[in-house]
Homo-oligomer: A and B are copies of this chain.
Amino acid sequence: MINKAGRDIPEEFLKEDQEGFQGQYYRNHYEYKKAAPRVKGAVGPQKSKLVKNIKEAVEKCGLKDGMCISFHHHFRNGDYIVSMVMEVIHDLGIKDLTLCASSLGAAQSSIVPYIEDGTIIGISSSGVRDEIGRAISSGKLKNPAIIRSHGGRVRAVEAGDIHIDVAFIGAPTSDAFGNARGKGGKSDCGVLAYSVVDSRYADKVVVITDTLVDTPNFPASIQGVDVDYVVKVDEIGDPRRIASGVLRMTQDPRELYIAELATKCLVATEYFEDGFTFQTGGGGAPLAVTRFLKPYMDEKNIKMGWALGGITQPMVELMKEGYIKALLDCQSFDMASVESVNTNSRHFEISTSQYANPLNKGAFVNQLDFVILGALEVDLDFNVNVVQGSDGIIQGAPGGHVDTAAGSKVSIIVAPLVRSRIPTIRDRVTSVTTPGESVDIVVTEYGVAINPARQDLIHSLSSTDIPLRTIEELRNEAYALVGEPRDIEFENQVVALVEYRDGTIIDVIRRPKGLE
């Protein structure tokens, strides 16, 4: 079928409840029974849930061939958990597993051989970067990987599309009964937001920590009542790589100009008023937008109600200075954010269900006024690709892109017109991550294109000095600079499905020709 994003989804991936993408709000008011785990009761006096090592936990959980296991990526480039657990599982000879991670990257490259030898046959993840991205792109995984946004992953678990048999949750601190936090210990990552859904919906839950503390380890992100076993290991990760010292503050004049333009767009809308709500990613231009907002807030004498999502130093500083009333954090991106969520009583941890699940009773993304997002590619229908490189290899992650773009009143994409002689604005994206109907404004250094569906924004912005262009004009400019990109060729083999946040399929990714 050709879905609503204009993409051809092979019939073999459309069976039972699995539909092609039908529009961003297609499943509004969709009614369903939530999933639930199988659990074992614990009656009577209990001493602790400690087991001696990961192997004992895996065995006690009854992990078997064909099951689904899960992990979070709060330890980012410093994560040891996935590698440690997968080595134990591989040594036990358990195979045909599906791995449901919130994201995967360079820290998990050790699992590539397990993809090749059939230990892992399925992957559900937001990011599949680096070597794992290459392995999947070249068709080494038995089943197509499923790329899900943060909201889409929680939805899939809460709606029962994924049933997690065993969740392995790395935690900077835990007590012997599994009350676990992202805070404290020697590998403080701030929050454990991605794992909350795993802890509530997995049949078996294992907390792995390097810092055992007294009961109760409260306030806990992961509740002991949901945890079966606790394992103490020497190190859950490399603290230096878990939280970056500081994210890069760009000095690049092109990025700064794009950020300035994006900020001007934002403040020119009717939604820039006291109590406005805001999210931005961690890239150079988005971070700069956060800093650029301050003088405009001063001028209008307004404050931000709350900022959402991955939290960074510029946000933390704005809150300290009184410009933001609350931070809602599902990922502490840097040391400043970790420090803040540990100490500032208006910096709150939220679960990814609270953040972005499209099928709970209302996630925070639905209350967003503005979101600033990046893009690898944007096309003439305003579709955005943040997953697949223009060379066809999977290298990115939807993260909260899809979720915030759909939930917010104004979504603003910031991107350079070309990158390394590859046009960002083009006829057609290599694959669709976020549908064009969720994308309102595209900001490049050559001007700003507003989605024609948003005549209200065109009206608001046309009385400013913001250089407005059509998306076709931006494409023409890009092609004039670096030429029209040649279509890359693909094999027929589908290596990944891009699932829209509501569970429909928005695109498929095929193996680039010649990629081994």
Q: Which residues of A contact B (CB under 8 A)?
A: 24-46, 49, 177-178, 205, 214-216, 218-219, 223-228, 275, 305-306, 325-326, 328, 348, 353-354, 357-364, 366-368, 406-409, 502
Contact = CB atoms under 8 A, between A and B. Distances in A.
A151 to B, nearest CB: 10
A227 B218 CA distance: 25
15 contacts: A24-B43, A27-B41, A27-B43, A29-B40, A31-B39, A39-B359, A43-B359, A43-B502, A45-B367, A45-B407, A45-B409, A46-B367, A178-B362, A205-B361, A218-B328
A359 B361 CA distance: 27
B33 A38 contact: yes
Given A226-B361, A354-B225, A25 B39 contact: no
Given A49-B361, A177-B367, A216-B328, 19 more contacts: A30-B43, A31-B39, A32-B38, A32-B41, A33-B36, A33-B38, A39-B360, A41-B360, A41-B361, A44-B406, A45-B366, A45-B367, A45-B408, A49-B362, A215-B367, A218-B328, A224-B362, A225-B354, A227-B362
Given A216-B306, A216-B326, A41 B348 contact: no
A36 B39 contact: no
B38 A359 contact: no
A175 to B, nearest CB: 10
Contact of A224 (B33, B39, B326, B354): B354
A502 to B, nearest CB: 7
A49 B502 CA distance: 21
Contacts of A36: 33-36
Nearest to A275: B214
B41 A28 contact: yes
A215 to B, nearest CB: 7
Judged by DSSP, the binding face of A is loop
A225 B361 contact: yes
Contacts of A33: 36-39
A198 to B, nearest CB: 14
Contacts of A306: 215-216
Nearest to A224: B362
A226 B367 CA distance: 15
Given A225-B354, A328-B216, A41 B30 contact: yes
Given A215-B306, A226-B361, A366 B42 contact: yes
Given A216-B328, A348-B218, A361-B39, A354 B223 contact: yes
Contact of A353 (B27, B225, B227): B225
B215 A366 contact: no
B27 A360 contact: no
Nearest to A176: B367
Given A305-B215, A326-B218, A44 B361 contact: no
A305 B214 contact: yes
B357 A225 contact: yes
A27 to B, nearest CB: 6
Contacts of A41: 27-32, 358-361, 502
Nearest to A159: B41
Contacts of A368: 45
Nearest to A355: B225
Contacts of A30: 40-41, 43
A514 to B, nearest CB: 40
Contact of A44 (B24, B44, B177, B328): B24
Given A216-B326, A325-B214, A326-B218, A43 B25 contact: yes
Contacts of A409: 45
B406 A43 contact: yes
A28 B43 contact: yes
A227 B348 contact: no
A48 to B, nearest CB: 9
A70 to B, nearest CB: 17
Contacts of A49: 361-362
A223 B200 CA distance: 15
A228 B43 contact: no
A360 B42 contact: yes
B39 A227 contact: no
A34 B45 contact: no
A325 to B, nearest CB: 7
A326 B41 CA distance: 26
A368 B215 CA distance: 12
B34 A362 contact: no
Contacts of A31: 38-41
A34 B39 contact: yes
